[in-house]
Structures are given as C-alpha cells and as structure tokens.
Amino acid sequence: MDDNKRAYVSMCEKVDAYLLLKVTDIAATPAVAANTLQGTLHDKIDETLANDTKANLDNTGQTIAKNDERAELNESTRRVIPYLYKYFMALPDRRMAERINFNKSELDKMDDNFFYENSKLVFDTAKDATVKAAIIALGYTNTLHNKHNTNLGEFRNLIGTPRMLSGDTSSYNRAVERNIAELHSAVDDIDIEMNLLEFDFTTLFEGYYACRKIDDAGSSGGSVSTGTVSSGESKLVRSIVYDAGINLKLENSGAIDLLFVLMESGAQVGLKLMVPAGDTQNHPITDLHTSGDSLMVLNSGLSTGAYKVTFS
C-alpha cells in the first residue's frame, strides 16, 4: 500500500476501535445498526492487511537464484563449445560448427528461454554417442558433461519462478485495491447510521467523526513516502502541489532499477529519472519537469521494487 491507502486503513482501524468501545452506548441509539456494520468493517480491515502482507513478500531472492544459475549454465555451455567447434570444423561441417559457436556476449543478450534452448542444443549435440566419443578424445570429460546437464536442469526449474511470484504479487496488489474500495463502502454505510446521532447523541457523534478523520499522510513539504511497486506496475507515490523549490530524495532500497516521473492530468510529463537498485539520488523537482500534480514510480523489472521519497 502507498501512504495514502495506509492512512485510510489506519483511520478505519480507529473507527473500528471506537465502535467496539462504544458498542453498548450505540445499541441504545437509532444508529444501532452501526454495531453490525462494525463487524463487516473489522473483517475487511483484516482482509486488507493480510493481502497487503502477501503483496509485499520479497521475491528478490528467487531472481538472484535464477541469475546465479544462468551464470553457471553460461559458463558450462561455453566450456563445451570449443570441443564441439573443433570437432565439426575437422569433419568439415562448418554450418554445424557455426550453429553451436556462441560467445559470452551472444549468450548474455538472449532472453531466458532462448538462452536455455541454445544451451540445451549444445548439450544435446555433445551427448550424441559418436560426437561424445570424438570430443572426449579431444579432452572433453564426463565431469564437464554431467555438470552441464545439472546446470541445465537447475536453470530450467527457475526460469519462470520470479515471473510467477511477480504475478502473485500483482494479484495481491489488485486485491488490496478492491479491499480499499470495500472499506470505503463499509465506512460510508456506518456514516449513514452515525449521522442520525448529530443532535441527540452529540458526544457519540463527535467522537466518531474525530476517529473518522484521516491522519495526514504528508504534504509535499518535508514529508516522506515509502512503498513497494510490483513488476510492470506504475504507482502513485504522492499527489503534490507543484513548487519549483521542492527537492526530492529518491531512495531505491530494492534489487530492481526504478523510474520516477511527474504526472499532470493523468499524463506523464518531462523526464523519467532512473534510480538504480540500492542507490539514492537528490534532485530538485525541476530536473523532472516545470509542472506536475503527482509523482509516479515505474518498475519494468521482474520482481517487486521498494522506494522511499523525501520531499523537502
């Protein structure tokens, strides 16, 4: 959740606590139905917080594991290639020699699935009985062969994991959005009941609306916004009143590069500032654009990112 949603849930928790505290008093008023509605609100708060916890589970470790396995497979693939290349050039079969002759740069540029397919092509070529016997005579070993096969299997098992977990994160974030809308509806229903108390049960009425006030989530001056942003997500950091004197401290505390951009009337304006994973940058807001009504963060990586923005 961003700061604004978090502030709204916090308000709902205060309302929930107040209604529980005053359940006996409210039962003797025309707003007695508020006691039943409190149960609905309470359940929705619990559901919202549970989904938000799941949305914020860190899958960075899965991405790192996949990348580590890719690096090992890249190396073992390149260890096999010289033996195959020498064998096919001696036949001569230049077409096949060139087909399996990938260098590190070429392998690095391939997406995961294409990289896996070509690494497996190298392995499948080397395991052919005739080819294998010939390249063993050139110095190829069963140890290298088995290591390459193991690396293929381990990488294959991890290819889709970060994307799958990222999909789970996005699903839970969408659930949180639905939950927030349901909280709004639940509180609106309670408002209808509590409004009956304004004149004859003033203390209860005023106590309720004191809790009903949303705590300030921060304004553009001297405030901080923190949150997470899912893979492929564009997320509101903070609505602002633009002032050329605003300074931004952009902190990327995750393992994925993030982009920050100003919005105006729903459209991106100005420059996108990229903050690498683990980096912190300070910018006057004018580095992004000369106007805007909100700041957005964009994540085009494969796992959830985390940010902290200080406005001063």
Any residues with CB less than 8 A from the CB of 38 and at least 6 apart, and which? 16, 19, 20, 23, 190
Q: Where are the domains of the chain?
A: 1-216, 223-311
Residue 83 pLDDT level (bands cut at 50, 70, 90): very high
Contacts (Cβ under 8 Å, ≥6 apart) of 149? 123
Region 135-151 average pLDDT: 94
Q: What is the arithmetic mean of pLDDT over 161-183?
A: 70
Which residues are paired to 190 by β-bridges?
A: none
pLDDT of residue 60: 46
pLDDT category at 294 given cuts 50, 70, 90 is: confident
* Residue that is written with structure tokens 């290639």 in the block: 81
The reported pLDDT for the residue numbered 169 is 61
40 three-state secondary structure:
helix
Options 1.20.950.20, 3.30.460.10, 2.60.120.380, 1.10.565.10; which CATH number does 223-311 get? Answer: 2.60.120.380
pLDDT grade, residue 123 (50/70/90)? Answer: very high
pLDDT digits (tens, 9 = 90+) for 238-274: 877 777 778 899 999 888 899 999 988 777 888 889 9
pLDDT tens digits along 176-220: 888 999 999 999 999 999 999 989 999 999 989 888 887 654 443
The answer, yes or no, to whether residue 172 has pLDDT greater than 80, is no
DSSP 221: S
pLDDT at 63 over 70: no
* Average pLDDT of the chain to the nearest whole number: 84
